[in-house]
Structure 1
Amino acid sequence: MDWLLVLLLFIAVYAVIAAVIRQRGLYADHIVFYGPIMAIKSMKVGFFDRFTRFSTFLRLYASFGVVMVVIISIGMTVLLFFSLHYTFAVRPPPTGIYAPQNILLIPGLNEYIPSTIAVWLAFVITIAIHEFGHGILSRVENIAVKSVGALLLVVPIGFFVEPDEEDLNRTRGMRKIRMFGAGITNNIVVGGLCFLVMILLMGLVIPVAGPVIGGVYQNFSAEQAGVPSYSVIQAVSGTPVQTPGDVSALLNATRPGDTVTLTVLHDGVT
């Protein structure tokens, strides 16, 4: 089934379910609508109280995060000014990275961020980590949490933590700053840890000898011939190759319509 039809089916099912819930007032204490967005919330927020035993550490963590956020914000502002100066002084040729849709880091809209399940899952997890930071520091700073929940627009698009407004208004100074800064602190710390893990895993990568086929275009000759992705080219029309340059040289010597035989290694099989 075409992916567009699947998407339309999901949208239709979501619209029907949302319409029924809205019209009949079902689960009024737990479901609220903001236009087409459905907010599903729960008042069971005792989970956050478990972190109060680590209040001293979490306050230090959040305070460090506030300082880190300020430093990063200043650094980004300086880089922005340098970028503007470079843009007006040098006037670099326009590229796709400056296109309006690429300003927002939204998967699928930004052409450099693919709309895949893995990317969307990372996007949702990032928001969850952010919001849970607010919830945890709310309880550490004695701010009651009224509810926690998820935002749906066909698929989950975010999470939220709802602190008690009266407690929040009574909170002043560094306590309030720590609570608001906890979300982005979590994102920075988790992002840094993920980057560190990625660097460590890169050290375990074993280089592959020979030119690797990273992928094949749909409906082109390579796909129709059954050339597998992530395979290593060993020979082109019987001529052994060792580098991508060798492959390019042999292919450049062919003409449109010529038949090329590839010998590839995939999963240990030639």
Structure 2
Amino acid sequence: MNYNDIFLIILIVFSWIIIIIPLAPAINKSKHFATMGPALMIRSTKNGGVLDAVAKHLPAKSLGKISTVLVVFGGLLAFGMLLYEAVLLTIIHIPTSAAPPLQDYLALPLINPFIPLGYGTASLVFAVVIHEMFHGIVARKHGIKVNSVGALFFIIPIGAFVEPDEKEIMAADPVVRRRIIAAGPGINLIIAAICIVLLVFVMMPASTPIHSGVYVDNSTTLYSGHAIPKGMEITSYGNLSGKQLNNLETTSMITPGLANITLFNGKTETNGSVPTGVAIVDLISGCPAAAANVSTDSIIYNISDAGHSHIIYNINTLGDVLDNITPGTTINMTVLTFHTGKTVPAYTTYTMKTVSTYHYYAKNDPTANKAAYKDESFIGVQIDYSGIGYESIDSLHSLVFGGQLVGPNFYETLGLPLLGLSPIPASLSHMFSTPFNSYIFFGITNTLYWFFWIDFLLGIMNALPLSILDGGQFFRDTLTIASRRDRLKFLRDENNVKKIYYAMGIFVFLLLMYIIIAPRII
């Protein structure tokens, strides 16, 4: 999105606000219109029949019961995720410069840069509308009057609302009221589950990788004309191909220098040559390599000590060599540097005295230090392999279709938008064969993912025990219902219920504030 687009969006939003606010008193006198801040509410009192008709043909009471279980699960999951993130922030120091921008915490199109306008808006509107509708449907199934339903606009439709009769719903049995409240986040979680099942069991098997290489998601130019373009698939590298490329940086035995490579752009394969080996991308200040003025954007060819020369084939080789050199040893390190227009690299040898890995961690990260590091050498180079970052195409195939949601990659699946993998880039989607038109197929795939993403987050966040969310009243009614057990009869005292309810709400609120504020001040 360019600056002109941003300026136009700001202009439209500002114009809407300055028109709505002065007109708010007149709008609020209308029977069918009202304002909620800068948003416009369009009410209808004649749509109750629609809710009745839907409620009549749906097992809404059973849905309310199922939703109660889902909200408990969703609330615990959301609470656990918040705790986990708070603990991580406490253990792992994040520089204030790396703190996420505040807009990243809001799952709203136009505001959050990771949420696409089209998929994001459609998914959000659907999720909010279905959420509110099911509050009303379950309320009608239990005989609770719905005073009005309507749409919520802020330039575009951003959702819907249902207004059950407040007196009737507050007079209802807490068990019934809890089912009505749970129906909103419950249906969101059900839809999220349906979408992820369709992604994993229908869309993923219907597409297959054309090759089994590796997808380049990051690339550094080691010398002009020989960088591996981002968004390409490496199908062969030297004498390696297919799944052999999955651990290229740790198992390659290709001699450092130039290597033949085959790249696939989704349509055709091209052959070329690229610098290969352990690339030095940066130097750590105060360490031996920096003191020796080692050239960055170069490749380590070999390391020699006491007459023994070791060719550095991969990252593991470099680690093994340094681990077996006594700290304080003088070594020679030869690197390859590639210059524009040259096909033969320049060889440069640097002399330096190693320090211990223990010394480095003692100064920079004491909590990660180990006694064994005292016998391992350290030179202070930041490295990667051949200036590329890559992922197995088979692994990406599973990831972008939600196949890794269960297990250690749970956060990676949720974080696909942050990784730039949803909507799935055209450069990646072209790496797969599909049963029909690729654009339509991946359009459906992206839609299912964003329906899952928005509904899942809306469902679990609404399950949190905060007074402004459905989970607040749900938690309070749960305490009231629990008081019917003799062993929990202390909850029959409304003051005890209030104390627990407010304490939990404050704790969750403080967790949220800690997650937002901590990276900016610690």
Match of 1:48 in 2: 51
Of 235, 241, 256, 2:262 maps to 241
Higher relative CO (CA 8 A, sep ≥ 6), structure 1 or 2?
Answer: 2
**Cα distance, 1:53–1:248 mapped onto 2, change above 3 Å:** farther
User: Which residue does 1:62 correspond to in 2?
Assistant: 64
User: How far did residue 99 of structure 1 move?
Assistant: 3.4
Preserved CA contact (<8 Å) 1:241 1:247: no
2:293 corresponding residue in structure 1:
none
Q: Give, in whole Å, the separation in 2 of the partners of 1:199 and 1:97.
A: 33
Contact 1:211 1:243 in 2 (8 A): no
Other structure's SS at 1:241 match: strand
Report the RMSD for the aligned CA atoms in angstroms.
Answer: 4.4
Q: What secondary structure sits across from 1:149 in the alignment?
A: strand
SS across alignment from 1:120? helix
1:37, 1:152 within 8 Å by CA — same for their partners in 2?
A: yes
Q: Secondary structure at the match of 2:138?
A: helix
Question: CA offsets per residue over residues 235-259 of structure 1, 9 Å max, x none?
Answer: 9xxx751479976749x89968669
Percent same amino acid among aligned pairs?
A: 23
Contact 2:108 2:115 in 1 (8 A): no
User: How far does the alpha carbon of each residue in 1:145-189 deviate from its partner, in whole angstroms, 9 at most, with x for none?
Assistant: 111122222233321111112222221221111101100000100
User: Any residues of structure 2 matched to 1:1-270 within 5 Å, and which?
Assistant: 2-11=4-13, 14-15=16-17, 18=20, 22=24, 25=27, 28-45=30-47, 46-54=49-57, 57-78=59-80, 80-81=82-83, 83-85=85-87, 87-88=89-90, 91-94=91-94, 99=100, 101=102, 102-107=104-109, 109-110=111-112, 113-200=114-201, 201-209=203-211, 241-242=262-263, 249=276
1:69/1:12 Cα in 2 relative to 1: closer, same or farther (>3 Å)? closer
* Larger Rg computed on CA atoms: 2
Q: In structure 2, what residue type is equivalent to 1:139?
A: R
The runs of 5 or more residues in structure 1 that have no matched partner are 216-220
Q: Report the counterpart of residue 307 of structure 2 in structure 1.
A: none
Unaligned regions of 5+ residues in structure 2, if any? Answer: 219-223, 237-259, 266-271, 278-296, 299-336, 343-426, 431-522
Q: How has the CA–CA distance of structure 1 residues 19 and 192 changed in structure 2, closer, same or farther, with 3 Å as cutoff?
A: same
Q: Distance in 2 between matches of 1:172 and 1:33?
A: 32
Who is 1:218 aligned against? Answer: none
Using the size of structure 1 for normalisation, the TM-score is: 0.70
- In 1, the alpha carbon distance for the partners of 2:75 and 2:204 equals 29
Q: What secondary structure sits across from 2:115 in the alignment?
A: coil
Q: What secondary structure does 1:28 align onto?
A: coil
SS of aligned partner of 2:209? coil
Report the residue type matching 1:32 in the other structure. A
Report the residue type matching 1:140 in the other structure.
Answer: K
Q: Deviations over 1:30-57 (max 9, x none)?
A: 21123322112222212101023246x2
Distance 1:37 1:79, change over 3 A: closer
Q: Deviations over 1:197-238 (max 9, x none)?
A: 1112112122133666889xxxxx99xxxx9x9776899xxx
| Structure with more of its chain in strand, by fraction | 2
SS in 2 for 1:203: helix
**Aligned pairs, number:** 249
What is the deviation of 1:76?
Answer: 4.0
Cα distance in structure 2, aligned partners of 1:167 and 1:49: 17
